Amino acid sequence: MKIIMLGAPGAGKGTQAKMIAERYKIPHISTGDIFRANIKNNTELGLEAKKYMDQGLLVPDELTVKILLDRVAKEDCADGYVLDGFPRTIPQAQVLEDALARQGEKIDYAVNVDVPDENIVRRMSGRRACLKCGATYHVEHIPPKAEGICDTCGSELVLRDDDRPETVQNRLKVYHDQTQPLIDFYTARGVLKTVDGTADMQDVFSAITEILG
């Protein structure tokens, strides 16, 4: 099963994608996590991506598409995957569609996690991320067991540089300009499914599993 998660930054794509990956035993692939791991390790890719990410801008398509296509070509993706944060532009979606079509495949579901802009800034200022294992928490809604410490790997949790309110406004604008058109793109292909992302995280997950079966 090949699934795409759509939604504004902070809508809960990553939170749900991790639960989907566990339930359906498919890899969770987050381009944002791949970029953050590269930034942490000071790679050339990380240095390049950081220039854009810190301003709330998208990393250029050429760079992002290559990373994603390399990742989905790996053996663990043979039975499908859940993509979180990719595609974010129509050209990215088109390249993915063309690459899949060459193998006689296609995206099965594009799950749109719908959260209004008013809720997003609060979600993101409360988000705490583990840069080691990629786990995500929220100081009010989904707190870690011990404040500031990742439940999964024990590392320190951080407020992502791009989750500061000034950057969040830019990211929302970029979302509306460049990513929201994907809703029409996947509606036209008959695979778009929208869920109410303002609900409790378990209720959002139930709505998603009802769709995926």
Question: Would you tell me which residues interact with ligand ADP (CB under 6 A)?
Answer: 7, 9-15, 123, 126-127, 136-138, 141-142, 200-201, 204
- Read off the tokens for 185: 């793109």
- Read off the tokens for 131: 């840069």
Give the nearer residue to ligand ADP in terms of CB position, either 11 or 26.
11
Cβ neighbours, 10 Å, residue 87:
27
- Residue pair 112/41 in contact (Cβ under 8 Å)? The answer is no
Report the distance separating Cα 126 and Cα 137, nearest Å: 8
Report the distance separating Cα 34 and Cα 50, nearest Å: 12
Q: Does 32 bind ligand AMP (CB under 6 A)?
A: yes
Q: The dihedral of CA 49, 197, 152, 21: what is its sign?
A: negative
- Residue 162 contacts which entry, ligand ADP, ligand AMP, none (Cβ below 5-8 A, type-dependent): ligand AMP
User: Minimal distance in Å, beta carbon 39 to ligand AMP?
Assistant: 10
Give the nearer residue to ligand ADP in terms of CB position, either 62 or 147.
147
Task: State the catalytic residues.
Answer: 13, 88, 127, 160, 171
Beta pairing partners, 139: none
- Residue 138 contacts which entry, ligand ADP, ligand AMP, none (Cβ below 5-8 A, type-dependent): ligand ADP
Binding piece for ligand AMP, criterion CB under 6 A, among 39-47, 54-62, 120-128, 182-190: 54-62
The residue to which tokens 């209720």 are assigned:
203
Residues near 127 by beta carbon (within 8 Å), at least 6 away in sequence: 10, 136, 137, 138, 159, 160, 163
Q: Does 130 bind ligand AMP (CB under 6 A)?
A: no
Contact residues for ligand AMP, defined by CB under 6 A: 9, 30-32, 35, 52-53, 57-59, 64, 85-88, 92, 162, 171
